[in-house]
Chains A and B, each alone.
Chain A
Amino acid sequence: YEWSQDRPGPGAPPCPSPCQCEEDGMFIMVDCSEMGLSSVPASLSPLTTYLDLSMNNISEIQPRAFHRLHLLSELRISGNQLRYISGHALQGLHNLKVLMLQNNQLERLPGDAPWDLPNLLSLRLDANLLSEVPAEAFRGVRSLRHLWLDDNSLTEIPVAALDSLPSLQAMTLALNQITHIPDYAFNNLSALVVLHLHNNHIQTMGSKCFEGLHSLETLDLNYNDLREFPVAIRTLNKLQELGFHNNNIKAIPEKAFVGNPQLQTIHFYENPIQFVGKSAFQFLPKLHTLSLNGATQIREFPDLKGTTSLEILTLTRAGLSALPLDLCEQLPRLRVLELSHNQIEDLPSFFHCSALQEIGLQHNQIKRIESSTFQQSTSLRALDLSWNMIGWIHPDAFASLHSLIKLDLTENRLSSVPVGGLGGLTHLKLRGNTELYEAFSPDHFPHMRVIEMPYAYQCCVYGSCDSYKPAGQWDTEQSTNEELHKRTVAVYPVHADTHYDPDLEEFQLEIEEAKLQTSVQCTPTPGPFRPCDSLL
């Protein structure tokens, strides 16, 4: 809006001083924000449709202050010092749709003669000092759709008051001190789509506390003190987004989400979850991410029958010892599989997981890799098998991994590694395979950038020995990240004392080319005590 203080044209409604006004056809929009006002301007035109009184020093609204403003659609009084607003103060606002009262000091709402705002759609009461809401408070705002009550001092759900709001679609009660949700707390809110209850102290909930919420799609219970899984969600058959992270829940029961087939996201990290029912995550056809970390009592892989859209599955630090043979049939769209820190010994074939891009199996007890394990895993880009007990890999095991760029086999028991199919690697880690003596020719890995070998001499094929310099140049353990830049600087040594000033353009190109060169960083770097010739 182009607010201005100029005298309005002939016939235009007057602009109250010191406010700024904007004509809206025959109507007028008035901005009196941040003008140090201590009361509502008196000479407001009946043709006012928008009035902003925010960020002033208004501590009281005189009765009938707005009684002529039948056409007012939006009233902003946020950021003032209001402690109470009587029903009479808002008399006459028949057409009001948006009322903003946030950031005041409201301690109570009128109960006996509540506000009469029949067309109000949005009511902001957030950031006030309300410790309760009278049962009749919302009797005059029955058309309300959006209600903000967050950041107040409520200790209970205002159940009786909410009964007057059959059209409510979105509500936040976050950042209060609510400890319990009773049964039928929201029984009349059949149109509610979004309910935020995060950052309260909710410890317990009635098993029927969400009865009546037939349209609920988003439920946010994050940052509370829940000790039990909220079984009350069972009635929410439209639920799409559920959050209860940062609570105190120790178990997710069998068939936990049987009543929520529409679920797309479930956030429950930062809970001391030990047990997860095998059938807990069944029949969730729209779920695309499932993350479980540290649930030590999980012994069996969850039964994910009917959860066919899962793309990211993280199940780490549990007690898994085996994977279902039909894992990929159950999860055909799996893209990321992260199963580190379990006790998995044998791997199924990932044949039907054609979308699989990342597999994390580090810190398990895998002993062998068969030819079928990664057959047809043509999308696989990163495979982490480090810290296992792998002693044998079938010669064709990696044959079809055309997209693989990162392979980590650190700390296994390998004496040989089949290179067929690994031509695309940029990162290969074999450190800790003490029986692996073979030096792999760079020809196998034309795109290699970072390679870690068990012994320094195995890096000599990567020219590490050519750049080997007398003592004093190489004897510090260089971190692999340094290596690329050292080669750059080595090309144009920088000497503090001499003014070596090559042609700048040529120097720029050298810098760029040095970065593009895929010089291989091979560690451990050979040195005086790690010569290129094998000591054996």
Chain B
Amino acid sequence: QHKQLSGVTSGCQQGGCLTCSDYNGCLSCKPRFFMHLERIGMKQIGVCMTSCPPGFFGTRLPERNTCTKCRSECDSCFNKNFCTRCRAGFYLHLGKCLENCPDGLIRSDTQRECV
């Protein structure tokens, strides 16, 4: 019988967990923490965090806070349609990751932005 424990236990050590189990990791998070489903090889475990990992954005709702994947061309984003940092080869302009910058702006490879 697998233990369903609250707080920090073996197999789910982070502080944001409310309930967890050895196989699934975090099953629920403490209030105001984001639940992120992390894949490690063939495993997928729940992780509770105060900010979602790179490539994901957090959505806060009354009943739960979840991490959702950004668009593929974004390294980080504010929501599904608004990037805050682009992947290599893309340049940020008003929340969009573009391969080419609008007229009047040039590509900055260090900042990955249209400047």
Contact = CB atoms under 8 A, between A and B. Distances in A.
Please determine if A and B sit in direct contact within the complex, based on CB atoms under 8 angstroms apart: yes
Interface of A: 34, 54-55, 76, 78-79, 100, 102-103, 121-122, 124, 126-127, 145-146, 150-151, 169-170, 172, 174-175, 191, 193-194, 196, 199, 215, 217-218, 223, 241
B50 A103 contact: yes
Interface stretch (B37-45, B79-87, B100-108): B79-87
A267 to B, nearest CB: 14
Given A150-B60, A151-B60, A194-B78, A169 B94 contact: yes
Main SS of the interface on chain B?
Answer: loop
B33 interface: yes
B94 A215 contact: yes
A223 B62 CA distance: 10
A100 B94 CA distance: 21
B80 to A, nearest CB: 9
Contacts of B15: 34, 55, 79
Given A78-B50, A103-B50, A146-B84, A174 B60 contact: yes
A78 B14 contact: no
Given A34-B15, A174-B60, A194-B78, A102 B51 contact: yes
Given A34-B14, A34-B15, A199 B81 contact: no
Contacts of B84: 121-122, 145-146, 170
Contacts of A78: 50-51
Contacts of A121: 84
B32 A151 contact: yes
A124 B51 contact: yes
22 contacts: A54-B50, A54-B51, A55-B14, A55-B50, A79-B15, A100-B51, A102-B50, A103-B32, A103-B50, A121-B84, A124-B51, A127-B32, A151-B60, A170-B78, A172-B78, A175-B60, A193-B94, A193-B95, A194-B78, A194-B79, A194-B95, A215-B94
A217 B78 CA distance: 14
Contacts of B79: 170, 194, 196, 218
Contact of A170 (B32, B50, B60, B95): B95
- In this complex, the member of B14, B16, B95 whose beta carbon has the largest number of chain A beta carbons within 10 angstroms is B95
A382 B82 CA distance: 37
A193 B83 CA distance: 11
Contacts of B61: 175, 199
Nearest to A145: B84
A391 B47 CA distance: 61
Given A100-B51, A172-B78, 13 more contacts: A55-B16, A76-B51, A102-B51, A127-B32, A127-B50, A127-B60, A150-B60, A151-B60, A169-B94, A170-B78, A175-B61, A191-B94, A194-B79
Interface string B87-99: 0000000110000
Contacts of B95: 169-170, 193-194
Given A78-B51, A127-B60, A193 B82 contact: yes
B60 A126 contact: yes
Nearest to B79: A194
Leading 8 A-B pairs by shortest Cβ distance: A78-B50, A79-B50, A103-B50, A170-B78, A127-B32, A194-B82, A151-B60, A193-B95
Interface in B19-68: 32-33, 50-51, 60-62
Contacts of A175: 60-62
A174 B78 CA distance: 13
Contacts of B32: 103, 127, 151
A177 to B, nearest CB: 12
B82 A199 contact: no
Contacts of A196: 79
Contacts of B33: 103
A172 B94 CA distance: 16
A78 B34 CA distance: 12
A38 to B, nearest CB: 15
Contacts of A217: 81
B94 to A, nearest CB: 6
A175 B79 CA distance: 16
A442 to B, nearest CB: 47
Nearest to B33: A103
B64 to A, nearest CB: 12
Contacts of A122: 84
Interface centre among B16, B61, B78 (most CB of A within 10 A): B78
Contacts of B82: 169-170, 193-194, 218
A241 B81 contact: yes
Contacts of B78: 146, 170, 172, 194
B93 to A, nearest CB: 10
B82 to A, nearest CB: 5
Contacts of A174: 60
Given A78-B50, A169-B94, A194 B60 contact: no
Contacts of A79: 15-16, 50
Contacts of A34: 14-15
B97 to A, nearest CB: 13
Nearest to B81: A218
Contacts of B51: 54, 76, 78, 100, 102, 124
Contacts of A124: 51
A103 B81 CA distance: 24
Nearest to A198: B61
A77 B25 CA distance: 25
Nearest to A126: B60
A99 B50 CA distance: 13
A214 to B, nearest CB: 12
Contacts of A103: 32-33, 50
